[in-house]
Amino acid sequence: MYAQHTSKPDIGQKFITLLGGAVAWPLAARGQQAGKLPTIGFLGQSTLSAGSEWVAAFVQRLRELGWSEGRTVAIEYRWGEGREERFAEVAAEFVRLKVDIIVTSGTLAVMAAKRATSVIPIVFATTGDPVANHLVASLARPGGPRPRP
């Protein structure tokens, strides 16, 4: 018998792997205007320097799934700087930009995105209880907006 050691980056890498797969499906399913790349609105909780490892892992996983930033998908990066009002500003900006999907994590950021749109799919890695916070209907069937044809 042995003890398996899982470091924090390993856990983060697993989350990003799952998140990358969750993002790829709505992007592939949504119809796109000719010449317009599908666009991900990436709302980071803190700052670029604090979230750089998450971004690198996210972009790597997208690449593994066949998505190439700037060639087959555009990513609009914004940072909440840990401020609730900033999350709301960024979420509203993503709605104005008509991103195809919003990717974020953390209860306050997810709630801000959900308040900003009922049409754009929101994919999140972590949050407090998503059912109790009314972010999803249930864990088994989260619901939410469906990809537009």
Domain range annotation of the chain? 39-143
The sheet that has 101-104: what strands, in order across it? 74-79, 39-44, 101-104, 122-124
Cβ neighbours of residue 124 under 8 Å, at least 6 residues apart?
Answer: 103, 104, 105, 106, 109, 110, 113, 130, 135
Q: What is the pLDDT of residues 77-87, one digit of tens each?
A: 999 998 889 99
Q: What is the pLDDT of residues 104-119, one digit of tens each?
A: 999 999 999 999 999 9
Q: What is the pLDDT of residues 11-49, one digit of tens each?
A: 444 444 445 555 555 555 455 555 789 999 999 999 998
Tell me what pLDDT residue 10 has.
47
Report the distance separating Cα 9 and Cα 17, nearest Å: 12
Match domain 39-143 to its CATH number in 3.40.50.720, 3.40.50.2300, 3.20.20.210, 3.20.20.60: 3.40.50.2300
